[in-house]
Amino acid sequence: MSIQSILYEKGSQVISVEKDADLERAAELMRDHRVGALPVTDGPNVVGMVTKREIIDGFARYGGKLATLQVSDLMQRNFPRITPQDSLRRATVLMAHHHASHIPVFSGDQLVGVVSGADVARHRLEDLELESNQLRDSYTTPH
């Protein structure tokens, strides 16, 4: 199964935040849209990712001043990327290697989605269940 299957299920809306927005705005967007990460944009370009982890770490470092900092002050600048054609396995490997909870999905230079570790795990379990059912059926079918 590919990342495209997750994108079909999630829909085409991608919520992002501008790099010079304050972190309070980023937190509001995450809360309002029930997402754990946001691509950070500079005009049409994705220049980073901000996740709940950066906000929590930022709060620990800056306390109440966090809300006034810009997203660019805490965003991840080096982040993995995947395409809709990539496999769930590749996404899993990248997430583990980069300790990433979310990965943006690009088709060429265009951001087309964001997948979470939970999205990947759920679809990977569905794959394994299907495989298991196919093996069981082939084993129990008389030859």
Q: Average pLDDT for residues 59-87, to the nearest whole number?
A: 93
pLDDT at res. 81: 94
b/e burial code for range 7-35 (CB count within 10 A of at least 16 → b): beeeeeebebbebebbbebbbebbeeeeb
Q: Tokens 């220049």 correspond to what residue?
A: 47
Q: CA dist 79 to 4, 40, 75, 137, Å?
A: 20, 11, 10, 41
Which domains does the chain possess?
Answer: 3-140 (3.10.580.10)
CB contact at 8 A, 4 and 84: yes
User: Percent of the chain beyond pLDDT 90?
Assistant: 67
Who has greater pLDDT, 128 or 49?
49
pLDDT tens-digit map of 11-41: 878 999 999 999 999 999 999 999 999 999 9
At residue 124, the pLDDT reads 67
Which H or E element spans position 21? none
Task: Report the C-alpha gap between 76 and 105 in whole angstroms.
Answer: 16
Determine which helix (DSSP H) or strand (DSSP E) holds 59, and give its type and residue range.
Answer: helix 52-62
Of the two residues 92 and 134, the one the predictor is more confident about is: 92
pLDDT, residue 12, reads 76
Q: What is the CA angle 57-15-86, rounded to 5?
A: 90
Q: What is the pLDDT of residue 53?
A: 93
